[in-house]
Amino acid sequence: MSDPARPDILVAAPLPAFTMDVLEARFTVHKLWQGVAPADLARVRGMAASTLAGPVGEALFAQIPGLEIVANFGVGYDNIDMAAAVARHLVVTNTAGVLDEEVADLTVGLLLATVRRIPAAERYVRDGLWPGGGFALSPSLRGRRVGIVGLGGIGKAVARRLAGFAVDIAWYGRSEQPDVAWPRYPSVEALAAACDVLIVIVPGGAATRHLIDARVLAALGPDGVLINVARGSVVDEAALIEALQARTILAAGLDVFEHEPHVPQALLACDNAVVLPHIGSASLVTRQAMGRMMADNLTAWFTTGRALTPVPETRY
C-alpha cells in the first residue's frame, strides 16, 4: 500500500549516493534499473531524471499512467523528450540557478588553461624538459574580445568574471535583453567575426545542433579560441577537428563532446585542444545542491501543486 505522506517516484537511472539519500528520506523510491513491477509503476506520480544518465521519453512515460512531474538533475534537459512531456501535460523541472557560479568558475579556468597552455606547461615540467630550456611563450588573454553565445544565468556569471580581466565582452542570444550593457550581435557568425574568443553556453537539442559550424569557426579566425561548456551537440566536432588541425583557429577548450564519454582520437591528438570530462558543475557542494533542488521540486509539486523551477515549455 502506498503511503500518501511519501509519494511514489521513479528514479530513471543511478544518481549520486547523497542525492539518493535525500530522495529516499522523502519519497517511496522505485529504481528503474532494478526492474519495477507494473503495479508499482501504476502508483508512481513523479520521476527523477538525469542529464548524466540518458534519454527519457514516451516509451517510459506510457508505462506510468499517473505520472505528473519529471524533475531533472541538471540545468540542461535535452535528455527529456519535451514534445512527449508537453503532450502528456507533465511538469518538467531543472536545477536552474544552483550551478551557475560553479560552471562559470570552470569556464574561466578552462579559458585560461587553453589560452596560456597551462596543461601543456604542466606536462613539460613532469616530463623533465624544463632543464633543457624554458617552456615556449604562450598566447595571452590581454587585449582579446570575448563573445558569449547564450547570455542566460551561466553566461552572465561568466561575463561578470571576465569583466575583472579587463577584456571587451559581446554576446549573441535569441532574445533582446534591454538591461544588458554588453553589445549584442545579430548572429553567431557575426559575433565570431567580431571576437577572438567564443564561449558557448546554450542549451543542447535540435534547435542548437551544430550551431558552431565551419562557417562560424572560419569567422573566428586564426587567432580565435573556442570554449564549449554547453553540450557537445552544439559544435560540429568534425569541422572543429579540421579547424584545429589546419590551424584556422588557434585553440579550443572543451568540457563536452558530441558522443561523450567517447572523444575522437583525432581531437585528442590536437596539441591545441584542452579537453575535460564534462566537469562544469562537478564539485561536491554543487552536485549536492542540485540534488536538493531536484528533491525540493518534487516536494513542492506534491504539497502545493507548484514546482519551484519549471522549464519554459511546462504548462500547469
8-98+284-304: CATH class: alpha beta
Does the pLDDT value for residue 1 go beyond 60?
A: no
pLDDT band at residue 316 using 50, 70 and 90 as cut-offs: low
The CATH topology of domain 100-275 is: Rossmann fold (3.40.50)
pLDDT band at residue 155 using 50, 70 and 90 as cut-offs: very high
Q: For residue range 101-111, what is the model confidence (pLDDT) as tens digits? A: 999 999 999 99
Does the pLDDT value for residue 256 go beyond 60?
A: yes
Q: Give the SS3 label for residue 307.
A: coil
> Catalytic residue at 26?
no
Candidates 306, 247, 255, 301; CA nearest to 276 is 255
**Fold equal for 8-98+284-304 and 100-275:** yes
DSSP annotation string for 164-204: TTT-EEEEE-SS--TT--S-B-SSHHHHHHH-SEEEE----
Domain ranges across the chain = 8-98+284-304, 100-275
Identify the H or E element spanning 243. helix 237-246
User: Full-prediction pTM beyond 0.85?
Assistant: yes
Q: For residue range 65-90, what is the model confidence (pLDDT) as tens digits? A: 999 999 999 998 999 999 999 999 99
Does the pLDDT value for residue 125 go beyond 90?
A: yes
> Catalytic residue at 260?
yes
With both helix axes pointing from N to C terminus, report the angle between 100-115 and 118-126 in degrees, rounded to the nearest 10.
Answer: 60
Q: For residue range 211-230, what is the model confidence (pLDDT) as tens digits? A: 999 999 999 999 999 999 99
pLDDT band at residue 51 using 50, 70 and 90 as cut-offs: confident
> Catalytic residue at 160?
no
pLDDT band at residue 55 using 50, 70 and 90 as cut-offs: confident
Residue 135 CB neighbour total at 10 angstroms: 14
Q: Which of 43, 117, 231, 287 is catalytic?
A: 231
Residues for the chain: how many in total? 316
Check residue 54 and give its pLDDT.
75
Does the pLDDT value for residue 264 go beyond 80?
A: yes
Residue 133 CB neighbour total at 10 angstroms: 8
